[in-house]
Chain A
Amino acid sequence: MKGSGRLLTLAGVTISALIAIIALLAPIIAPYDPIKSDVGGAFMAPNSQFLMGTDLHGRDVYSRILYGSRTVMLVALASTLLSLIVGVPVGLLSGYVGGKTDRVLSLVMDSIYSFPGLILAIALAAMLGPGVVNMSMAIAVVYIPTYFRMVRGQVLSVKENLFVEAARAIGAKDRTIVFNYIFPNVAPSIIVVVSLNIADAILTEAGLSFLGLGITAPTPDWGFDLKSGQPYFPGGRWWLITFPGLMIIIAVLGFSLLGEGLNDILNPRLREGE
């Protein structure tokens, strides 16, 4: 890999790891209770005591941001895992079996895929009601087709290889062929998609929370805090919106850089022709 590419991958790894550490260690690092009111006065600008200022209820913005990473990462990881668990097996099945099953499944998945992701998530979240679990489910549905399409496409090409024919010739069962011969060839691409999917899921989570369809107050969450700060920034309270938004961008960037980097490492043949 070339210098700048390696640098970006490194940045991706570092940022993603940092976000994960913050989420895990939030109770230890955070100076204040994120949902406790009046730890300081209302709307205090950032100072040495409150690094990122305080909000309407006198809560510490910095502590809320640290704890917010837990909500965001929990939803992003849970939804990614859910869509992985559904999307990959269905993709394997569809690609391997082919025929009518494949056509029906592809048609359904393509339709979901063509629908604007956030709007689909909004509809689902509105029907399911707020909460971390419901939000994860809503986001998971949106990204199932991403896994399905990728896995199906790869299975279709791997299936034509000589080693699959050889396995069939020595009498391997379908199940063995799919899991022992085809799946290992698809797995690297799945890892790349997972990383990019986490980035997308963070954006969708932030969008849902921003629209008030995600978690309920007073749970700390970046998108939700951004929304809560919106009425106050024209009055000069810039810290209420600046920091939660920055965290969203940094987290999304971290995981997409990680994904791009993994893509370069795991799929060297797919590297963009220079």
Chain B
Amino acid sequence: MIFLLLTIVFIILRVMPGDPIIALIGMRAPPEHIEALRRQFLLDKPLYVQYFHYISNFKPIYVPYFPYISVDLGTSIARDPGIPVVSSIMLRFPATLELAISATIVSVIIGVLTGAYSAHKRNTIADRSLRLYSMIIYAFFIPWLGMMLQMVFAVQLGWLPLYGRADIGMEPTRITGLYVLDSILTLNFPSLISSLMHLILPSLVLGLVLSGVYTRLTRTNMLDVLRQDYITAARARGLPERTVVYKHALKNAFIPILTMMGLQFALLLAGAVLTETTFSWNGLGTFLTESISYRDYPLIQGTIVFYAILVAFVSLIVDIIYAIIDPRIRY
């Protein structure tokens, strides 16, 4: 699957109509400069030569149970000249990972709670409004929602910071690159508070927009589960309705949610690009748009390839977790 994705990235970047160098450098660049760049990226060679050169950059090393890929994505030409693309990406990836993890937590918590409540109170006004919510929230354009929350919580109320990952000078010593985790590891509490405060709005925005799917899914599953015999049995034993719904039923509505988390991962990454731009969050998404504005071709290609690998990797992880949770599934 990774090779297929890599091939598609290649097709997109090389075979699509249009000359990437001209698109990036602009028509007015001196012709010899354009020619030199073409030679550098082998764009003057036939396509199949380009393809084999490109694929040969990826040297997969398989360690049992842990797929590891060594990748040479070349070096940057404009943004940070001479520095390997991989190290630039690795510098920015933790920020996206941190945002993705907290946004997922937010979306699952909101989605599961609203979904369960909706199923519990089905066909009431609460249920109807929550179903409407799950439909409407997807339409919320992330930058707009982000700016509205910034306007209320940062500009008007001044409770939360407007931009960035931490106050200036508050960045923790880099260990993993995840600010929250690093501040805990270095026991730097001012940093921890600063990073958490900065994390709230971005993860809330991204989490809210993605939560609608979980609301719908949890509601449907809960309605199914609530019809099962063991729920009737629990009710017959005289357990309070709340215990039945939120303890017995909710647990069993969880497996499809895990699947959905895997499926939503692509949407999460795409949403993260917009969230990062809105909140000046120094992650992969802003890195990609910066690389584009620097017209740095190796960086753009490298980042897209990295996204492809990430998607493939996560779908593998989800399959593995799925097999562990549900013993009926064997690959």
Asked if residues A122 and B308 are in contact (CB atoms below 8 Å), the reply is no
Partner of B135, one of A111, A129, A256: A256
A241 within 8 A of B: yes
Partner of B307, one of A111, A116, A233: A116
A160 within 8 A of B: no
Asked if residues A114 and B311 are in contact (CB atoms below 8 Å), the reply is yes
**Bound Cα distance A201, B12 (Å):** 19
Partner of B277, one of A126, A211, A236, A257: A211
**Bound Cα distance A107, B8 (Å):** 11
Asked if residues A203 and B141 are in contact (CB atoms below 8 Å), the reply is yes
Asked if residues B277 and A210 are in contact (CB atoms below 8 Å), the reply is yes
Binding-face segment, A26-34, A49-57, A169-177, A247-255: A247-255
B13 within 8 A of A: yes
Instruction: Count residues of B near A (Cβ-Cβ below 8 Å).
Output: 53
Partner of A249, one of B23, B24, B144, B154: B144
Given A111-B4, A126-B300, A248-B144, verify A117-B277 contact (CB < 8 Å).
no
Q: Which residues of A contact B130 (CB under 8 A)?
A: none
Asked if residues A119 and B288 are in contact (CB atoms below 8 Å), the reply is yes
B315 within 8 A of A: yes
A40 within 8 A of B: no
Interface residues on A, range: 35 or more
Please give me the residue from chain A that is nearest to B142 by CB atom.
A207
- One digit per residue, 1 when the CB lies within 8 angstroms of any chain A CB and 0 when it does not, for chain B 1-43 equals 1001100110011001110100110000000000000000000
Asked if residues A213 and B139 are in contact (CB atoms below 8 Å), the reply is no
Asked if residues A127 and B13 are in contact (CB atoms below 8 Å), the reply is yes
Asked if residues A249 and B140 are in contact (CB atoms below 8 Å), the reply is yes
Asked if residues B5 and A111 are in contact (CB atoms below 8 Å), the reply is yes
Q: Which residues of A contact B5 (CB under 8 A)?
A: 111, 114-115
Interface of A is mostly: helix
**Bound Cα distance A203, B293 (Å):** 22
**Bound Cα distance A107, B293 (Å):** 33
Q: Which residues of A contact B18 (CB under 8 A)?
A: 127-129
Partner of A115, one of B20, B277, B311: B311
A120 within 8 A of B: yes
Asked if residues B300 and A115 are in contact (CB atoms below 8 Å), the reply is no
Q: Which residues of B contact A102 (CB under 8 A)?
A: none
Asked if residues A211 and B151 are in contact (CB atoms below 8 Å), the reply is no
**Bound Cα distance A117, B265 (Å):** 11
B324 within 8 A of A: no
Given A117-B266, A230-B147, verify A126-B292 contact (CB < 8 Å).
yes
Q: Which residues of B contact A245 (CB under 8 A)?
A: 141, 143-145, 147-148
Apart from A210-B141, A211-B289: 12 A-B pairs, beta carbons within 8 A: A107-B4, A115-B311, A116-B307, A119-B269, A119-B270, A124-B12, A126-B23, A126-B300, A141-B12, A207-B142, A227-B143, A249-B140
